[in-house]
Chain A
Amino acid sequence: MTTINKQPDLLHRFVSTPYVFGINCGSQRVDIQSNDLEVALGVRSLCIRRQREEQSTITRWKLIRDGSAPSDADGELIFGHGLIRTLHAGRGTILIYDQERSELLGFVAPNVSARKLVTSLIPTLIGSAPARSDLPAFTNK
């Protein structure tokens, strides 16, 4: 058997996310996880607002407040290749939007407020994505 707890987590994949919300947006269940209450509440409000405005629903959210990330303020880059789009704000804030799996994941640097995250960065990332009907088929070989 593998000795899992000895294995390194260099990518910070397994940061615990004690703030968990499950909300219903229309017929869809939305799961929100974060290690930062302000971020979790902000995303929850964003989901409710988007549902009221009849915008597409992202069903899984996992956002990590990343205390060890660099807080540089270099420009923003949105990078996409159809199925996945990422937003890099400085080097420390990285948001990942997988349209096909309807997931939004990311790390938020200490210098980015929850307010900026939900009012600016996430809408910019989601808004830059093409319509789902334009996406190529998912191939998970």
Chain B
Amino acid sequence: MSLVSIDQSALPYMAELCFAGADCYLTTNSADLAEVLQQLSLSLEATDSTRFMMQVVVDETSTEQADNPHFRGLHHVVTASFGHTNVFVFDLLRRTLSANVSSEVAKDSRFWKEKLIPITLGILGSALGLIPVHSACLESEGDGLLIAGASGAGKSTLSVALSLAGFNYISDDWTYLSLRDGVIVAHGTSAPVKLLPDADQHFQALAECSPHISMNGELAYEVDIIETFGVAVECGCEPRWLIFLERVLPPGSEFSKLSSSEARDYLTSNIERLPSQLDKAARNRDQLIEAISALPCWTFRYGGTPQFASEQLVKFVADRRHEVSA
């Protein structure tokens, strides 16, 4: 039997961090972990409504690697365990994450970047007024473009192609949306872009990279978009349009308008139902979903290369701006 009890006086390392628009106050007993998380943190947004506490005890005697995760939740508490030592407890009422991890996991930057930070935002998000949406996000001249779609629809390759065409990159897979003074704001994390092996047919820069087995078992390129493609990255934007991506076989492209109720159904079907203990968070989340689904929504069906799809979207954005200015 191991007994770990968090005593704040035994957690001397502190840091103010920011992940996807949520501010995080970290306390830990590990200088290594504080450094890893500071490297992954974006600039602070300083809004109390999206602040949470993270308390992490690192067991220096354990070298356990992160095992497959096991998640469960009841009422306001969610637990995630990645093996016997690596245990995370999320308290949605008190907006706190408490964790016990091995020294190996504390130093594993990839674990925090690709797993724990997105998981934390996904679980605590509803208590922080954030919604994770399965969409890419790009920005141009202050206008954000959300590109939603199922896995395999081509969000990541299109994100890279649009970034190479001059858009600023924010995220390629999960985007975190919140309301600030009535305005929708979208954020990404610093997670790498994940491209399937056939993406090397479209992007020469991948010739110098090798695909490897990613954390979900898929063979993929996982690359830093700035290092690999030299494109511009933004940490957040105000989305103007929501595009649902559908890949079809015949070459060509077509935009068709989508109703708010269809957009709402999509957004709702991708998020966890909340228990009655979190009624207030559920109401705030419903408000946010209403605001997002009120954005102009379109379905974009395309067949062809990511560069072709990117050209169509660049033209689409230019046309929408022209409509507004006219």
A binding-site residues for B, Cβ under 8 Å: 2-4, 6-14, 62, 64, 66, 69-70, 74-84, 86, 88, 90-92, 94, 96, 98, 103, 105-107, 124, 128, 138-141
Contacts of A139 in B (CB 8 A): 94
Q: Is B265 an interface residue (CB 8 A)?
A: yes
Q: Is B74 an interface residue (CB 8 A)?
A: yes
Specify the main secondary structure of chain A where it touches its partner.
loop
* B1:A76 contact, CB within 8 angstroms: yes
The answer for the CA separation of A2 and B275 in the assembled complex, in Å, is 14
* B100:A8 contact, CB within 8 angstroms: no
* A78:B268 contact, CB within 8 angstroms: no
The answer for the CA separation of A139 and B3 in the assembled complex, in Å, is 25
* B98:A94 contact, CB within 8 angstroms: no
* A106:B2 contact, CB within 8 angstroms: no
Q: Select the residue from B3, B95, B289 with max chain A CB neighbours within 10 A.
A: B3
The answer for the CA separation of A14 and B77 in the assembled complex, in Å, is 13
Q: List 17 A-B contacts (CB under 8 A).
A: A2-B289, A6-B265, A7-B271, A11-B71, A11-B72, A13-B75, A13-B275, A62-B74, A70-B70, A75-B84, A77-B1, A77-B4, A80-B4, A81-B96, A84-B98, A88-B87, A128-B3
Q: Select the residue from B4, B6, B74, B273 with max chain A CB neighbours within 10 A.
A: B74
Count of chain B residues with Cβ under 8 Å from any Cβ of A?
42
* B84:A96 contact, CB within 8 angstroms: no
* A74:B84 contact, CB within 8 angstroms: yes
The answer for the CA separation of A83 and B35 in the assembled complex, in Å, is 28
Contacts of B79 in A (CB 8 A): 86, 88, 94, 96
Q: Which of B3-61 contact A (CB under 8 A)?
A: 3-6, 48, 55
Q: Which of B6, B72, B286 contacts A2 (CB 8 A)?
A: B286
Contacts of A64 in B (CB 8 A): 74
The answer for the CA separation of A107 and B4 in the assembled complex, in Å, is 20
The answer for the CA separation of A139 and B93 in the assembled complex, in Å, is 8
Distance in Å: Cβ of B167 to nearest Cβ of chain A = 31
Known pairs A11-B78, A79-B87, A141-B48; list 10 more (Cβ under 8 Å): A2-B289, A11-B73, A69-B70, A76-B1, A84-B98, A86-B77, A86-B79, A91-B84, A92-B70, A96-B89
Known: A10-B71, A92-B70. Contact between A105 and B84, CB under 8 A? Answer: no
Contacts of A140 in B (CB 8 A): 93-94
Q: Is B189 an interface residue (CB 8 A)?
A: no
* B269:A7 contact, CB within 8 angstroms: yes
Top 4 A-B pairs ranked by shortest CB distance?
A11-B73, A81-B6, A7-B273, A105-B74
Q: Which of B67, B71, B77, B85 contacts A98 (CB 8 A)?
A: B77
* CB-nearest residue of chain B to A129: B5
The answer for the CA separation of A46 and B305 in the assembled complex, in Å, is 65
* CB-nearest residue of chain B to A7: B273
Q: Which of A7, A84, A107 contacts B268 (CB 8 A)?
A: A7
Distance in Å: Cβ of B174 to nearest Cβ of chain A = 15
* A78:B272 contact, CB within 8 angstroms: no
